[in-house]
Amino acid sequence: MSNLEFLLIQQALNREDLLEIRKVINASGKTITKSSISVYLNTFQPTLFEKPLITYKQSELKQLLNQYKLEIENFDSISKSKKADMRIALFSHLISEQTRFEEKQINIKDIQDDSLKTWDKLRDQLPYYTLFQSDRTNTDGDKEVQDPMKAITKEVLADLKDKLEEIKNEVVSKVEKIGEETIEKLKEFNEEIANQLITVPEIKSWDSLFKFNLDTDDGVPLNKRGSGVRRLILLSYFRAQAEKDAIRNNRRNIIYAIEEPETSQHPNYQRMIIDSLKTISEKEQYQVFITTHTPEIAQMVEKDSLILLQKDIEGHPQVVKNEDIKMQQITKTLGILPSIHSRVVICVEGPNDVNFIKNINKFVPEFKEIIDLENADISIYYLGGSNLKAWVNEDHFRKSNIFEFHLYDGDIPKYRDIVNTMNEKNDGRRFGVVTSLREMENYIPPRLIEEQFGVNLDEYLYMWNEFDIPEHLKKCTLPHITNMREKEKRIKQILNGCLTKKITADLLKEHGVYEEIAGWFQQIKEIYERTSGLTTTSR
């Protein structure tokens, strides 16, 4: 039985057929203790029953099932010792298209007693969740240092799960046996007291038995070192994880949550940390969450990976789902700007556009001769489609001496309107161009695409200017990638990456786009020369 089938049978999912677990913390007291925390499953239940069937004990299910003994076919063949079978029988008989469902929260205590092991089974399916907090104390036993070691400890213990389970069962069995023998002896003194006693094992998690400290080689206690050094232990741990996972597949699922990984770090180390986390997150078994208020960190990840939390009118935190609003608010609240130490910024829509512009400038000598984007004092920055309009309207560099050249795809009318409006202002600092073809991929000579992907595109040449190349290729190439979104992403990376490095001036002239692209670089050159009053040549 698959995990999803198990959860469906247990009726443990919400209205979207997702496992939703809510942790409620009562913070009204002076301190938060274990008793202050309640955990619930948010489920979608039929209103037919007094309570969710998942909370029924075996005897209760059997009693409920017997009420329909004469109505359920093959009643005698239903196993009365298996709660799942009885639930399936009840649902199959009673649920119809007219049945009304409602959300119900189930306290895990209601599915965790001796006869209901459902929560234990659910918990076995959950990934490890490890939180790395930004708060720091000044001891080498603080969470900042301990948490990586705790995560390692949990992984090691998980590998030893079967052995530890045997040890636990043996200890419980022997202790219970001795406890029972003790109670029997007690009966000889006082049977009334003895009858009130029962051996109840309180099992603690194995990882709570271990605590590791880290000492430095030079004899300086770790808690006397700078906070940045201590935070680098996190970096070392994550880098070790990435390297280890590169050579072996980890069978466990782990969620890492890291608060403000940039804390106390040199900018170079900040990038190393984020790169390491991104490497880990690319593994199927890992999910990585980081929190940050730093625009530089937010810029290091893909737009689709950004999550913005805002409070609603009632003060409850909510995820902003509208892409346009999300990117506008992130730009506004974090003040996200490119790291500009140059005189000209080339603004494009996405990262693939950046690769296209950089590669054809670098590998087509005729374009590099006009202006060398690698050597010239120029930055290239992608805005992201949903954020593009907000960026242009905000005009972030209006109080600076930075000049802007905007180059956007011609397949979206609103981009054309944005560029027209910007050019009409004629402020002498911002200039825009819209491509005559659909998007950057259409400027790649068809012959190169055919050779790269092993396809024939002759029948599409008449409509090439408006042809959606990635959309077509994802239908007939890279069959090993089943996720269509991932396939399209990979195709665009190939088109704008390695393929653009093969482009030559002759191929572009044959394709009829050489003059247009040369015009882009000529305009960038003229803008650059305006910033300094100098004549620009390739270096």
Q: Hey, how many other C-beta atoms are within 10 angstroms of the C-beta on 132? A: 20
Q: 21 or 480: whose pLDDT is higher? A: 21
Length of the chain: 539
Residue scoring higher pLDDT (207 or 25): 25
The answer to whether the beta carbons of residues 83 and 61 sit under 8 Å apart is yes
pLDDT at 151: 66
pLDDT at 516 over 80: yes
Read off the tokens for 339.
């790291």
Mean pLDDT of the 195-223 span: 66
Residue 321 has pLDDT above 90, yes or no: no
On the question of pLDDT at 146 being above 50, the answer is no
Please state the φ and ψ torsions of residue 247, each to the nearest 5 degrees: -110, -10
Q: Supply the DSSP symbol for 225.
A: S
The neighbouring-strand residues paired with 266 are: none
Q: Which residues of 190-220 are buried (b: 16+ CB within 10 A; e: fewer)?
A: eeeeeeeeeeeeeeeebbeeeeeeeeeeeee
Q: 142, 136 in Cβ contact below 8 A?
A: yes
Amino acid identity for residue 161 in this structure: K
Torsion of CA 25, 27, 31, 36, to 10 degrees: -30
Q: Which tens digits make up the pLDDT trace of 28-40? A: 888 888 888 898 9
Q: What is the pLDDT of residues 439-455, one digit of tens each?
A: 999 999 999 999 999 99
Q: How much is the pLDDT for 136?
A: 45
Per-residue pLDDT averaged across 48-73, rounded?
A: 88
In this prediction, residue 32 carries a pLDDT of 82
Please state, in angstroms and rounded to a whole number, the distance separating the CA atoms of residues 151 and 131: 9
Q: Tokens standing for 422? A: 């910007």
At 262, list the tokens. 């940039």
Give the tens place of pLDDT for each residue, 232-254.
666 566 556 644 654 444 446 77
As a whole number of angstroms, the distance between CA 433 and CA 431 comes to 7
Q: How confident is the model at residue 137 (pLDDT cuts 50, 70, 90)?
A: very low
CA–CA dist 400, 395 (Å, integer): 10
The domains of the chain are located at 3-126, 127-301, 307-335, 337-539
Q: What is d(CA 67, CA 69) in angstroms, rounded to the nearest whole number?
A: 6
Q: What is the pLDDT of residue 31?
A: 83
Predicted confidence at residue 126, as pLDDT, reads 74
What confidence category does residue 505 fall into, taking pLDDT thresholds of 50, 70 and 90?
Answer: very high
56 vs 246, higher pLDDT: 56
* 339-390 pLDDT tens trace: 555 788 898 988 899 999 999 999 999 999 999 998 768 888 887 655 555 5
CA distance 13 to 41: 8
Of the chain, the percentage scoring pLDDT greater than 90 comes to 23
Distances (CA, A) of 373 to 57, 400, 404, 499: 71, 21, 14, 19
337 close to 481: Cβ distance less than 8 angstroms: no
Q: Is the pLDDT of residue 55 over 90?
A: no
Distances (CA, A) of 525 to 259, 348, 367, 538: 43, 17, 11, 10
What distance in Å separates the CA atoms of residue 511 and residue 461, rounded to the nearest whole number?
Answer: 10
Token representation of residue 220: 């300086």
pLDDT given for residue 187 in this prediction: 73
Average pLDDT over residues 126-144: 58
- Helix, strand, coil percent values for the chain (each to nearest 5): 50, 10, 35
Measured distance CA(36)–CA(24) in Å, rounded? 8
Pick 59 or 182 by higher pLDDT: 59
pLDDT in the model for residue 174: 87
More confident residue, 190 or 241: 190
Residue 66 has φ and ψ, to the nearest 5°, of -65, -25
CA nearest 465: which of 447, 441, 488? 441
Residue spans of beta strands (DSSP E) within 57-150 = 101-107, 128-132
Closest CA to 115 of 66, 41, 60, 78: 60
Determine the straight-line distance between the first and last CA of the chain, rounded to whole angstroms. Answer: 65
- Output the pLDDT for position 162: 83
Buried-state track 114-126, b at ≥16 Cβ within 10 A, e below 16: eebebbeebeeee
Rounded to whole angstroms, how far apart are CA atoms 17 and 101? 13
Q: Higher confidence at residue 61 or residue 531?
A: 61
Can you tell me the mean pLDDT for 509-538? Answer: 84
Q: Which residue has the higher pLDDT, 509 or 99?
A: 509
- Average pLDDT of span 87-109: 86
Q: What is the mean pLDDT of residues 176-187?
A: 78
User: At CA 213, angle to CA 208 and CA 215, rounded to 5?
Assistant: 170
Q: Across the chain, what does the average pLDDT equal?
A: 79
Backbone φ and ψ for 481, nearest 5 degrees, come out as -100, 110
Cα–Cα dist 214/359, whole Å = 47
Q: What is the pLDDT of residue 1?
A: 43
Is the separation of the CB atoms in 344 and 531 below 8 Å?
A: yes
What confidence score (pLDDT) does residue 365 get?
A: 96
